Structure 1
């Protein structure tokens, strides 16, 4: 059987494998998908995860659960040599190995793109993974709890100041969702008011959300201003060292939560391949998603999603290419699977073409925007459209049920406000109270414990006056001493352990 290797388990990779399982005949090909994560993340839900509206595990799709006929390998592909049709697989534990393939599908996705701004690498957090979204949520909740114990001042202001860098869809959505979440939290913190919270979004361009009309973007800015959220347009972040935000406008303030959403770039692993790359580091492909080197098609190689420079046949794409978003990646994965099956069967392939259906964004509970052509919907109806679209787009009925069920529960019960910030160090509580062996010198100097005291452990002196086997030892600190039987001479008094401060004057009879 031909061996198909899919590099990356994000949108494009997952949907390619999912549809190959549906369209390949039994025994027609063997499919393997390799990704360092065992799940696909539905990234449009990350802002709602950060705001506590969706449980983190509900926004991901387990590869092994939903790809029943695909070999799932949880590891990294660190090199692809298409000339020999081999890939180097590097697991987190164990030795790397080489995998041979007949067809390769490159869908390694994208990572956050940052700039060498002082402090960003040390202080900021991205919004590309489910772990980042969950950490943002926990950080905000923890900061509210800390701030509630502080008087008004710089320390409290820092904890309650949220900064988002980037005014695209992801940035605006997480900014608005966090603003909504913080406003909702205030009812649980009587000592805090909305004036104590500070939200700043920094955008280098003169407008936000280029996917919608200028009029719609102005409505979003007005809505955010009414909710005490400040948007800095035509502004660049100069420094974030130590959490101190310095802007190109001269403004400066401190923040304990900085979220970076200012762009993405193709996964750098593609540089360890022999595929042709364009200037932005993406693999060049034809509209039918086959890898192409200039005008020459690279046989048995395919790519799509954020890692590929796919021509946009509608003419609406930036620079002539499809923009890197979920709407394209999902549909590309499906089209690539169809074309790959057709290629295996000697049939013709079809170009990928998708007319943008519009843009929809959630801006917190009950607020959203929808733009399709000249049609714009704002407010509550757009928020319903946002949840309806993404609820349907979430792959598998099992995932849909979990997400919609969570929304339904939150409608009646409200969002959960428990922070699990300590899961970053899950052993902290255990380590704090765990007993450890004493140093050799200290153990040698310690006196020999009396009966009933574990070796090397300080504690009260115990005795068993009755001398009965298995009887519990008694301590004078907890029970009066018994007199020795009259038929025997009085026993000598046992010395009291020097380190038992509570029993320094006690007279404890020795065991018979």
Structure 2
């Protein structure tokens, strides 16, 4: 059997493996997927996880629960040697080992792009994984509890100040959702007022939401500002040392919660630890049929045999807009994964693979409970209708009926009973209570044993 190795279990990797299981005949190929996480994260729901509108586990699709004929290896690929068709894998447990393959599929995705700014490494938290979304929610909820015990002043305001760096979809949606949650929480905390809240969205370019046109983007800025957020355009984060935020426009304040959503960077294993060709951004150049190409930048179409790539680590030509590349988002990754599965089977059976050509369904974003924006070409929809469209689209897009039903049930419960606002921040330190209890126990010293007197007269 032909050995197909998939690196990465995100959108593109999961849908490739899922599609192969549906298309391959028994005994036709052996599929292996390597990923350090046992699940695929449906990232468009992460902003709603931060606000408690979606249950965290419902955005994670278990790989083993849905890929029944794929061998799953829990580990990280640290090097790719395509010349001898092997990869180096660092499993979660045990020593590093080598895996050999006949066909490699690289869907490792991207990593969070960070910049050497004072205080970022110590204080910021990303929003690319479900663990980060849960931590953000718990920190905000805990901040309300802490602030409610303090008098009005700088410390209370710092606890209730949220800074989001990055004005793309993730940053804007996180700002809108968290602002909606914080505003709703004020009803449960009579000690606090709206004036205690402070939300800052920091974007280095002149506009937010680059996927939409200027006027809808300007409307989103006005909507966030009308609800109390401060949007800083053409502004960079200068420092966050000690929780004190300094912006390039001269603004300074203390912020307890700093969320970093300033884009993606190339995956290190693709950018630095492979003999496959990469472009100037550290991405794999591919043809429209998702085969890895030798010199895509020069317009040549020579391919690297038995090497395919899709998703955020691949520079995929956008046939709908000649001369450009597809943007790294979930919509493209899902579609590319489905096509990649079909192309791998076609190639295996001696047929020609098909090129990736998409037709945009538009862009949609949530801005908080009952608020959203949608744009398809010249059509722009705002407010409640756009928010309903956002929920409708994503509940259809999230994989498996089991996950769709779970998400719908949580939304239904939230509609009748409101968001679940219980903080479980102690989960991040699960042994703390037990350790404190163990340390408080006074262990009695053993009583000294009396020596028996020996009767020497006997």
Is the shorter-chain TM-score for this pair beyond 0.5, marking a shared fold? Answer: yes
Shift of the 342–239 alpha-carbon distance from structure 1 to 2, 3 Å rule, reads same
For the residue of structure 2 that corresponds to 1:16, the secondary structure is helix
Give the Cα–Cα distance (whole angstroms) in 1 for the partners of residues 45 and 111 of structure 2.
17
Q: For residue 279 of structure 1, what is the aligned residue in structure 2?
A: 280
1:115 Cα deviation from its structure 2 partner: 1.1
Give the Cα–Cα distance (whole angstroms) in 2 for the partners of residues 283 and 437 of structure 1.
58
1:116 counterpart = 2:116: yes
Q: For residue 416 of structure 2, what is the aligned residue in structure 1?
A: 412
1:78 counterpart = 2:78: yes
Q: For residue 223 of structure 2, what is the aligned residue in structure 1?
A: 223
Q: Is the 8 A contact 2:82 2:275 kept in 1?
A: yes
For the residue of structure 1 that corresponds to 2:20, the secondary structure is helix
Q: For residue 340 of structure 1, what is the aligned residue in structure 2?
A: 344
| Cα shift readout 1:254-277 (whole Å, capped 9, x = no counterpart) | 001000111101211112111111
Q: For residue 404 of structure 2, what is the aligned residue in structure 1?
A: 400
Give the Cα–Cα distance (whole angstroms) in 1 for the partners of residues 394 and 220 of structure 2.
20
For the residue of structure 2 that corresponds to 1:434, the secondary structure is helix
- Greater CA drift, 372-381 or 205-214: 205-214
Q: For residue 425 of structure 1, what is the aligned residue in structure 2?
A: 429
CA RMSD of aligned residues (A): 1.6
1:299 counterpart = 2:305: yes
Q: Is the 8 A contact 2:80 2:269 kept in 1?
A: no
Q: For residue 369 of structure 1, what is the aligned residue in structure 2?
A: 373
1:207 Cα deviation from its structure 2 partner: 1.0
Residue correspondences, number: 444
Give the Cα–Cα distance (whole angstroms) in 2 for the partners of residues 127 and 176 of structure 1.
14
Give the Cα–Cα distance (whole angstroms) in 2 for the partners of residues 405 and 173 of structure 1.
22
Give the Cα–Cα distance (whole angstroms) in 1 for the partners of residues 422 and 331 of structure 2.
33
Q: For residue 349 of structure 1, what is the aligned residue in structure 2?
A: 353
1:73 Cα deviation from its structure 2 partner: 1.1
For the residue of structure 2 that corresponds to 1:363, the secondary structure is strand
Q: Runs of 4+ in structure 1 displaced over 3 angstroms?
A: 435-439, 446-449
Q: For residue 456 of structure 2, what is the aligned residue in structure 1?
A: none
Give the Cα–Cα distance (whole angstroms) in 2 for the partners of residues 421 and 438 of structure 1.
29
For the residue of structure 2 that corresponds to 1:83, the secondary structure is coil
Q: Higher RCO, 1 or 2 (CA under 8 Å, sep at least 6)?
A: 2
| Cα shift readout 1:42-88 (whole Å, capped 9, x = no counterpart) | 00000000111011100110000011111111111111111111111
Give the Cα–Cα distance (whole angstroms) in 2 for the partners of residues 284 and 206 of structure 1.
30
Q: Structure 1-normalised TM-score?
A: 0.85
Q: Is the 8 A contact 2:77 2:90 kept in 1?
A: yes
- Greater CA drift, 52-61 or 268-277: 268-277
Give the Cα–Cα distance (whole angstroms) in 2 for the partners of residues 359 and 434 of structure 1.
53
Q: For residue 319 of structure 2, what is the aligned residue in structure 1?
A: 313
Q: For residue 330 of structure 1, what is the aligned residue in structure 2?
A: 334
Give the Cα–Cα distance (whole angstroms) in 2 for the partners of residues 87 and 146 of structure 1.
49
Alignment of 1:41-440 (within 5 A): 41-270=41-270, 271-294=272-295, 295=300, 296-315=302-321, 320-434=324-438
Give the Cα–Cα distance (whole angstroms) in 2 for the partners of residues 238 and 95 of structure 1.
41
Please, which runs of 5 or more residues in structure 2 have no aligned partner? Answer: 450-458
Give the Cα–Cα distance (whole angstroms) in 1 for the partners of residues 286 and 115 of structure 2.
27
Q: Is the 8 A contact 2:118 2:238 kept in 1?
A: yes
Give the Cα–Cα distance (whole angstroms) in 1 for the partners of residues 205 and 99 of structure 2.
45
Give the Cα–Cα distance (whole angstroms) in 1 for the partners of residues 88 and 169 of structure 2.
36
For the residue of structure 2 that corresponds to 1:69, the secondary structure is coil
Give the Cα–Cα distance (whole angstroms) in 2 for the partners of residues 263 and 91 of structure 1.
28
1:448 Cα deviation from its structure 2 partner: 4.9
Q: Structure 2-normalised TM-score?
A: 0.95
Q: For residue 462 of structure 1, what is the aligned residue in structure 2?
A: none
Please, which runs of 5 or more residues in structure 1 have no aligned partner? Answer: 450-512
1:435 Cα deviation from its structure 2 partner: 5.1
For the residue of structure 2 that corresponds to 1:190, the secondary structure is coil
For the residue of structure 2 that corresponds to 1:200, the secondary structure is strand
Shift of the 347–217 alpha-carbon distance from structure 1 to 2, 3 Å rule, reads same
1:398 Cα deviation from its structure 2 partner: 0.5
| Cα shift readout 1:337-393 (whole Å, capped 9, x = no counterpart) | 111100000101111011222100000000000000000000000000000000000
Give the Cα–Cα distance (whole angstroms) in 1 for the partners of residues 194 and 175 of structure 2.
15
1:221 Cα deviation from its structure 2 partner: 1.3
1:214 Cα deviation from its structure 2 partner: 1.1
Q: Which has the larger radius of gyration?
A: 1
For the residue of structure 2 that corresponds to 1:75, the secondary structure is strand
Give the Cα–Cα distance (whole angstroms) in 1 for the partners of residues 9 and 106 of structure 2.
10
1:117 Cα deviation from its structure 2 partner: 1.1
| Cα shift readout 1:300-335 (whole Å, capped 9, x = no counterpart) | 00000000111111117xx71111000000000011
1:212 Cα deviation from its structure 2 partner: 1.1
